[in-house]
Structure 1
């Protein structure tokens, strides 16, 4: 008896599952809505371009074009956040019971006035005081001067002595040594005793005192 009722329950679920799935799909379709609209100023009804329209809590959105027109697909019940430079932020909550899957919106935005702190400009008391302040003024370097200082020969040489090699340089050095060792595989490597360049480097090092014993300095 229990087995029969269990089979009957499975049969009922199997028969009703297409209708339930269809109802869920229909409900999902009904919850999606495409919002198309335009962002305008509240006082003069002028189009506002480059307005950021974000869906709160979802990290996605869109931007209005040059004519202030925008379009975005959201769910009913979501909140759209409108923000633009020079205007107050505005939120709009989409009604849950909004009929249909398309809705047109005209979002009016109010200009936001920003008050900067007062700046008082006072002249120097005397001409001599102005000349002294002008002569001692620290003028910051421009981009050209900063680039010139960063590419000086002395600075580059100093950085080259303390800057470690990166991964690319280390890999190239290793591959170069490996290629050199494989090039002379099976035969003795050449001796630099008859190499004029090596003798010139040896003589320069000798003149610089690279081979001088440390005991001779004391």
Structure 2
């Protein structure tokens, strides 16, 4: 589904590359986890793959479509759940979703029915006409997710989709993502919740300094490192315990 060849990104004025000569293939229907410390290059990589920023060099294709030749078609193929809320706080949930659905050429009863279906599935039917500004963090995360899947994308990018939410909202989000994946959606997921990644992802790659250090099935990575009890132990063995704060 996704082929990445020697992909690199260096921001203007930066001393080094945020992503450097990265190669990676992701199969159809995978839930592929991109894990790494702050500043490792995860969000930059997702931003390039979702056509939000232009690579400095290298190439990639998604379902055979390239950024250079098929940018418009590629954007119709993907959905993005951003780390920050991408919602209009003064509009209601239904108004937000109607707007985002229209950007994918959805309209009329088809769009209304899809919105109400997903609001019901994610436990938000009673809040359809409430302003986003009144929503809790978990409710906003669920609306964020709905906005990204209204057009039934083949590939879904998830940048910290459960950060800052309560256990109940997290469970609803993860269970719905599993259903989408079972129906055929390929997912690329980033998170600092390593226990979640270990149970959710079919494969993971650990990235540091813009490069993939290791990749594989979570259970295989755990078994390959002596004394590792879980994916967090593997992560710390590879990236170290030093703080990675970035201003």
Higher RCO by CA contacts (8 Å cutoff, separation 6 or greater) = 2
Rg bigger for which structure? 1
TM-score range, shorter chain: under 0.3
Q: Could you state the TM-score of these two structures normalised by the residue count of structure 1?
A: 0.17
Q: Could you state the TM-score of these two structures normalised by the residue count of structure 2?
A: 0.16
